[in-house]
Structure 1
Amino acid sequence: MKVVIVEDEQLAADAIAAIVKRLRPQTEILSKLGSVEEAVQWFTLHQAPDLIFCDIHLSDGNSFEIFRQIAVSCPVIFTTAYNQYAIDAFKVNSVDYLLKPIKTEDVALALKKYENQHHSLPLDINNLHQLLQSKQLQQQIKSRFLVKQGQGIKAISLEEVAYFWAEEGVVFLVTKQGKRHIINYTLDQLEEQLDSAIFFRANRQLMVHIDAVQEVRPYFKGRLSLLLLPATEKDIIISSSKASDFKEWLDM
């Protein structure tokens, strides 16, 4: 079996590769691709593999852009923190839909499903409801964060949060009053625990509350520039591949 992994986090890609090789030692990992652009280029130049493991959130947009730009005929096992993309996943030959963090037993079941179905038609979207029920892909919405304050610990409710900012491996919770607190979460972990109707992953550094967005301006090459409250020291740019999703999220 020949496999391609599309995942922008190197450690996550390596973990999937290790699990697959452990479960199916004869598997050949053809490539690990980290972006929409890289994946489109690879699939344009190479014959399709037997199976793709594909993260939905990539560094330059969501992976459905890959399948909109090129025809990929092989089955796909999607990995993500969000269940909101499940319907889209089923439109592109999805074998299964794995919720992060990826577990060995989930990969094992997905591979068995692939092997059982690989000579038949892709899963039909009508199976979506059954799959979602069986995996219970409901988000566990976080309502507050505990942060250090002096020698004590303070609880900050989600309503007080303006955005989360990642810098040099540290994630800061920034309140609407502009106060910064270090939290022990990555932005990927926060994506799993925050309501996607309220928070948007703007880029690798920022997850923003909808009320913190004060102004949206057009930027070069289809990108967007954001003004936030409280203001940030660095310019906030949303890529052209994410611009449409961001506008839809803001209901623009």
Structure 2
Amino acid sequence: MKVLIVEDEDLAAAKLTKMLEKYDSSIRILGNLTSVKDTVQWLRQNAAPDLIMMDIRIDDGVCFEIFQEVEVTSPVIFTTAYDQYAIKAFQVHSIDYLLKPFSYEKLEKSLEKLKKINQNPPTASPTVKVEELLQALQRNEPSYKSRFLVKAGTKIRSVKTEDIAYIYTDRKLNILVTNTGDRYPLDQSLDELSQVLDPDIFFRANRQLVLHIDAVSTIHPYFKGRVKLDLDPPLDAEIIISSEKTPDFKAWLDK
């Protein structure tokens, strides 16, 4: 079976690849795409894969935009951190999904479901009603996390989201940094965190960083339409916003 992965979180993509290979060592991963643009281009230039594992939120938008740009004939299993309202929309249209974070056993059930469908194909292929899915998502206001439980040595404490300065990845570990500079490890991936944090307050700067709007202390013009950031508290790394994301970043700051 040939599988295409659409996932902008490297750790999540690597974990998914291992799960797929555990299910069937003969599975061939055709690639891991991280954006709507790249996925559309790939689907236009390549034969349809046997399966697409597709995250909902990717680098440059919502994956449903892919279906508006190109005809997708492959079966799709969505991976999502959305609440039940989105999941119900998928169920209505017989689209399978995995709610992040998911176990190997849940992935196995989805793949077994796909196997049964392939053994007994329907007389007509179901169509993905993208507009209805988007409307179902937009009709419901998502609820965002207000606090996180974190480990502080041998203790557990609660950190309010308003006290978070940013969350970054350092050597495959995600670290929450508070306004006062305290640091705590988190188990969730940045992709999962991006789904549960209010986008009016938090911005996915790049694959390694999600930042609070109040953590941006200084913005410097950078090469080729990019910007460079100083954060408070400081982060010992160069923070560059890509030229593609800079307009969204400035719009976010200017709300």
Query: In structure 2, do the counterparts of structure 1 residues 250 and 71 end up closer, same or farther at CA, with 3 Å as the change threshold?
Result: same
Quote how far apart the aligned CAs of 1:209 are. 1.0
Q: State TM-score, norm by structure 1.
A: 0.67
Equivalent positions of 1:58-97 (< 5 A) are 58=58, 61-62=60-61, 64=63, 67=66, 71-75=70-74, 76-82=76-82, 95-97=95-97
CA offset digits 1:38-79 (Å, max 9, x no partner): 646643542233542222445x54464983996343254432
Equivalent positions of 1:95-244 (< 5 A) are 95-102=95-102, 103-104=106-107, 107=110, 111=114, 116=122, 119-126=125-132, 139=143, 141-148=145-152, 154-177=157-180, 179-185=181-187, 186-244=189-247
Deviates more, 1:222-231 or 1:200-209: 222-231
Query: In structure 2, do the counterparts of structure 1 residues 221 and 52 end up closer, same or farther at CA, with 3 Å as the change threshold?
Result: farther
Gaps of 5+ in 1: none
Amino acid at match of 1:221: K
Query: In structure 2, do the counterparts of structure 1 residues 207 and 143 end up closer, same or farther at CA, with 3 Å as the change threshold?
Result: same
Query: In structure 2, do the counterparts of structure 1 residues 132 and 68 end up closer, same or farther at CA, with 3 Å as the change threshold?
Result: closer
Pairs aligned (count): 237
4+ runs deviating over 6 angstroms: 129-133
Gaps of 5+ in 2: none
Indicate the RMSD between aligned Cα atoms, in angstroms.
4.5
Cα distance in 1 for partners of 2:123, 2:47 equals: 21
Q: State TM-score, norm by structure 2.
A: 0.66
Quote how far apart the aligned CAs of 1:193 are. 4.0
Q: Is the 8 A contact 2:147 2:158 kept in 1?
A: no
SS at match of 1:221: helix
Q: What is the percent sequence identity of the aligned residues?
A: 38
Q: Is the 8 A contact 2:54 2:78 kept in 1?
A: yes
